[in-house]
Structure 1
Amino acid sequence: MGVLALGTYWLARTTPGVSNAVNGQHEAKHEADYFLRNFSVKSFTPQGRLKSEIQGVEARHYPDTDTLEIEQPRFRSYNDVGAVTIATAKHAISNGDASQVQLMGDAVVTRDPPPAQKDQPQMEIRSDFLHLFANDEKVKTDKPVSIRRGKDTFQADNLDYDNLDRVLQMHGRVHGLLLPHVPAAKP
């Protein structure tokens, strides 16, 4: 009887998944719990204003990390003054509330000026990887990056951009081309 009990105990401890179930624990598996195809997900502020929208060809949600993996994503975010940020890439990983989006493969983030500041130029950031922090209005990358703001262009080995503080930090080999601004002729 003792040998049978020891054999049963050994079998329960060495069988995958059973030992954790015996202890009341379950292994979290990285398996998608739902899929989306040709989708659009919108989030709104408590006042009902559109805050962000994610579109894509296909997405998979993983409950263990509360992430959404997206193929051919298009992310649009609106800040409090109405400025629009648009981000695209081949692939993306978004956290549950879309406040952080990692863009991979031909990543582009375009920032339009707020409606009250239409005289400001559009800004475009391109890289193979961009990490977008929508709520904090930041973009970071540790990969080579190119920036275009109006007619001015820059290239760097990596980037840390904070739109709220209006600080753009480029590191490594940095090259830039600044062109003179010519005001429009008055009629």
Structure 2
Amino acid sequence: MKYHLTADQFRIWLGVVLLALVALASFWILKTLRQNGDDANARSSVRSEPDYYVEKFNFIRLPNNGQANVSIVGDKLTHYPRSDDLEIQQARINSFSADKSPVNIRALRAVIEQKSTQTTPIREHDQIHLLGDVQVERPATRTSSFMQLNSDYLLVLPDENTMKTDTAVTMITTTSEIHAVGMTADNNTQQVQLLSKVRARFSRAGAAQKPLS
């Protein structure tokens, strides 16, 4: 049985929206990173092994145009020319801004599948896979409450402005804890659906939450 979040639980949805936006921004940064290798790849035959990698990297985007600043930290970034995929080990994605709630995302791996006419089948959309111990956290601030989303896998579709998973998810706020198996989140309709085995617990006063380590 599907479970639709109500307007009173919109703060949970807000955290999901921010996840999609941060993931999209991270994709933009990584796309600019790979442009340096495009000319070399075009001149060489397509290989199945990685053509370049970066270890212990830390990239920061400071747009200064009203958008959130974004930093990406990882143990290793690898580019695979055959699929044109980017893979990040121990990915950490953080958004921060003076007038926006910060969002912190971490996963054991992040795989970015870029739209391409060179692959078989052709990829018509970008896809971002977050895999292994995925945690999304919005810390409590003066203007927003604490929110944390945990799962083993999240698929972000930036072109569609949606996010989904078929695995177990846990959503935690200062006043609620919701468990479910399967979730879809659509920023266009501002709806979140928890697909099965939904269990929820609500309280008047929330306990202190641990930040991401």
Q: What interval of TM-score do these two structures reach, taking the shorter chain for normalisation?
A: 0.5 to 0.7
Indicate the residue corresponding to 1:178 in structure 2: 202
**Residue 136 of structure 1, CA deviation:** 7.1
Indicate the residue corresponding to 2:94 in structure 1: 76
**C-alpha distance 101-77 of structure 1, shift in aligned 2 (>3 A):** farther
Indicate the residue corresponding to 1:103 in structure 2: 130
**Residue 155 of structure 1, CA deviation:** 0.5
Name the count of aligned residue pairs: 153
**C-alpha distance 58-164 of structure 1, shift in aligned 2 (>3 A):** same
The answer (yes or no) to whether the contact 1:77–1:134 under 8 Å persists in 2 is no
2 CA distance for matches of 1:135 and 1:40?
26
| Bigger Rg, structure 1 or 2 | 1
2 CA distance for matches of 1:60 and 1:169?
34
The answer (yes or no) to whether the contact 1:139–1:162 under 8 Å persists in 2 is yes
Q: Normalising to structure 1: TM-score of the pair?
A: 0.65
Of 95, 119, 144, the match for 2:168: 144
The answer (yes or no) to whether the contact 2:87–2:112 under 8 Å persists in 1 is yes
1:91-130 matches, cutoff 5 A: 91-95=109-113, 100-112=127-139, 118-130=142-154
Consecutive unaligned residues in structure 2, runs of 5 or more: 1-43, 116-125, 207-213
Amino acid in the other structure paired with 1:104 = L
Of 47, 68, 77, the match for 1:59: 77
Indicate the residue corresponding to 1:39 in structure 2: 57
Richer in helix (by share): 2
Indicate the residue corresponding to 1:3 in structure 2: none
**Residue 134 of structure 1, CA deviation:** 6.2
The answer (yes or no) to whether the contact 1:90–1:107 under 8 Å persists in 2 is yes
Q: Normalising to structure 2: TM-score of the pair?
A: 0.58
The answer (yes or no) to whether the contact 2:92–2:106 under 8 Å persists in 1 is yes
Q: SS state of the match for residue 174, structure 1?
A: strand
**Residue 107 of structure 1, CA deviation:** 0.7
Taking CA–CA contacts closer than 8 Å with sequence separation of 6 or more, which of the two structures ends up with the larger relative contact order? 2
The answer (yes or no) to whether the contact 1:53–1:75 under 8 Å persists in 2 is yes
Q: Which whole-Å deviations, capped at 9, do the CAs of 1:132-152 have from their partners, x for residues lacking one?
A: 456876432110111112230
Indicate the residue corresponding to 1:90 in structure 2: 108
